Structure 1
Amino acid sequence: MGLRHFLAALGLAWIGLGTPAVAAELLYYHGIGCAYCEQWDEEVAPIYPKTDEGARLPLRRVSSSEPWPKDLAHIKGLVFTPTFVVLDDNGKEVGRIPGYQPDWFWAFLRKYIDKMDDAAKG
């Protein structure tokens, strides 16, 4: 690669740094002293990144005791912990899982992933 091509590629990479990439993710709203959050942290958190769902929807933790992230200002109405919010590639909410029930968590997560896939197909 010539110097000119290298500099052009470097310039494009630099421009890309200014615009954060948005990817689908699983927002995990949790709180201190939340028994169901602790249960999820013990049962699911260690394996979640190793699952197909975790690969598709990387986990993003947001604590109820911290300031709300500015890039999530469009996500409203989170009161109870835990609440899981599935966000698509555009940062748009696809669905919520309020609370944690081991029997339901994975089924609801799969439902929302399927919903995203169906929307992508048109």
Structure 2
Amino acid sequence: MSSPDPGRAPRAVALAAVFGAAFWLASPPAAIAAELVMFTRDGCPWCARFEREVAPVYALTPEGRQAPLQRVEVRPGGDSRPGLNEPVVAAPTFVLMDQGREIGRITGYLGDDAFWGLLGKMLAGMAHPVQRTSGAASITERP
């Protein structure tokens, strides 16, 4: 019986890493195709309220896992990035994007109950809607 080649294990690990990285790079970004883009502005009191009431738990919710939150500063004079149905001029504005196109938007922030309810309606219109939690959409009910 021959002894194992000591250089074989590191080569196998290196090859596995190379093929794994190539597979990951070639995979389509479908797992995170949707995102919730929050258009914000410095000094915006409603943006600050959202950051206090919703942002700390957003990523922990089914909604946050389906559509991760991305923050973007509203450009002076409005923002008309590719994929938007119309320019964003107010802050905060939450735009649900799926595969680079706008699915829906929430202009303004009226509190966590209104936010979760409106976001749930937008997500329900997507190809793979998220299951809503039961009861009122309250920040205290989020995991």
The TM-score range, normalised by the shorter chain, is: 0.7 to 0.9
Q: Partner of 2:121 in structure 1?
A: 111
- Taking structure 1 as reference, are residues 110 and 11 closer, same or farther at Cα in structure 2, changes over 3 Å only? closer
Q: Hey, which of these two has a bigger chunk of helix by percent? A: 1
Query: What fraction of aligned residue pairs are identical, expressed as a percent?
Result: 36
Q: Partner of 1:47 in structure 2?
A: 57
2:69 alignment partner AA: L
Unmatched segments (≥5 aa) in structure 2: 1-10, 130-143
Q: Distance in 2 between matches of 1:20 and 1:29?
A: 26
TM-score (ref. length: structure 1): 0.74
Moved over 3 A (4+): 5-8, 10-14
Corresponding residue pairs, total: 112
Q: Partner of 2:23 in structure 1?
A: 13
- Taking structure 1 as reference, are residues 7 and 99 closer, same or farther at Cα in structure 2, changes over 3 Å only? closer
**Secondary structure, aligned partner of 2:96:** strand
1:32 alignment partner AA: D
Assess if the C-alpha contact under 8 Å between 2:74 and 2:88 holds in 1.
Answer: no
Q: Distance in 2 between matches of 1:74 and 1:97?
A: 16
TM-score (ref. length: structure 2): 0.64
**Secondary structure, aligned partner of 1:42:** helix
Deviations 1:10-30 (A, max 9, x none): 58437x26x883610100000
Q: Distance in 1 between matches of 2:117 and 2:71?
A: 20
RMSD: 3.2
Unmatched segments (≥5 aa) in structure 1: none
Q: Partner of 1:27 in structure 2?
A: 37
- Taking structure 1 as reference, are residues 32 and 25 closer, same or farther at Cα in structure 2, changes over 3 Å only? same
Does 1 or 2 have the higher relative contact order (CA < 8 Å, sep 6+)? 1
Larger radius of gyration: 2
2:53 alignment partner AA: E
Q: Distance in 2 between matches of 1:7 and 1:35?
A: 47
